[in-house]
Structure 1
Amino acid sequence: MVATVAALAYAAALRARIVFDEEFDLFVCAGMRFGFARGGTTIGGAYLTGRNTGAATLRHEAVHAEQWARYGLGFIVRYLIEEIRHPMHRNRFEIEAGLVDGGYVRRPKRRSG
């Protein structure tokens, strides 16, 4: 996919450490100091971030990679329109990816007893 290749080139230019995570079928471009939104950004099949590479986050971002595969480059427009209409935790693409895994809501506390 063109978006993945472009994202990998961009991440490499910003000196990211790029590894392929087989569990999540996702290129993880970590160690970036800037060039991504919030805790990280998925473009195509590449996730760009500083240090936000926990399993829950990668699970969330892998869903975004699937959304990119489903919609192609049109995903950019779909996501941005949705973000304008329903920001952050109300965005249907974030809901589909998992709000807890994406850090939009906290995990419920377990009751002891």
Structure 2
Amino acid sequence: MLVTVLALGWARLWRAEIRFHEHFDIYVCAGMRGGFARGGTTVGGAYLTRNLTWFRTLRHESVHADQWARYGLTFIPRYLLEESRHPGAGNRFEIAAGLADGGYSVERPGPDSAVSGTT
């Protein structure tokens, strides 16, 4: 996929150490000083990051690589539209990738957290 080649070139410009992770079938571009969003960003089949290379993170990012493979360049507007409607942990692409694996804190309100009416 051309976008993966471009992402790898971008990673090289930011002096990343690039390795192919066979278990997750994704290029891991670590050691970057910038050039990515949040803790890391997957572009095509390349995961760009400073140092977030834990197993769970790579599992999460490999799902995003699969999403790129499924949607191609249309993944960009699909993701951005979804993020504008349902940011962060509400984004269906993040949910599909596994919120906990992606470092999202998902707190569910418990029964005691309901706001009671005043009497």
- The verdict on a shared fold, with TM-score over 0.5 as the criterion, is yes
**Partner of residue 25, structure 1:** 25
Moved over 2 A (4+): none
Report sequence identity in percent: 67
SS in 1 for 2:82: helix
SS in 2 for 1:29: strand
CA deviation after TM superposition for structure 1 residue 73, in Å: 0.4
State the TM-score, normalizing by the size of structure 2: 0.88
CA deviation after TM superposition for structure 1 residue 13, in Å: 1.0
- Map 1:45-60 to 2 at 5 A: 45-60=45-60
Matched, 1:71 2:71: yes
Q: How many pairs are equivalent?
A: 107
CA deviation after TM superposition for structure 1 residue 7, in Å: 0.1
CA deviation digits over 1:11-67, x for unaligned, max 9? Answer: 011110000000100000000011100010000000000000000000000000000
Q: Partners of 2:70 and 2:88 in 1: how far apart?
A: 21
Q: Partners of 2:67 and 2:14 in 1: how far apart?
A: 25
State the TM-score, normalizing by the size of structure 1: 0.92
Q: Partners of 1:91 and 1:10 in 2: how far apart?
A: 26
Counterpart residue type for residue 44 of structure 1: G
SS in 1 for 2:29: strand
Q: Partners of 1:33 and 1:22 in 2: how far apart?
A: 24
Q: Partners of 2:23 and 2:30 in 1: how far apart?
A: 17
Segments of structure 1 that go 5 or more residues without pairing to the other structure are: 107-113
Matched, 1:35 2:35: yes
Segments of structure 2 that go 5 or more residues without pairing to the other structure are: 107-119
Counterpart residue type for residue 42 of structure 1: T
**Partner of residue 111, structure 1:** none
SS in 1 for 2:47: strand
CA deviation after TM superposition for structure 1 residue 2, in Å: 1.0
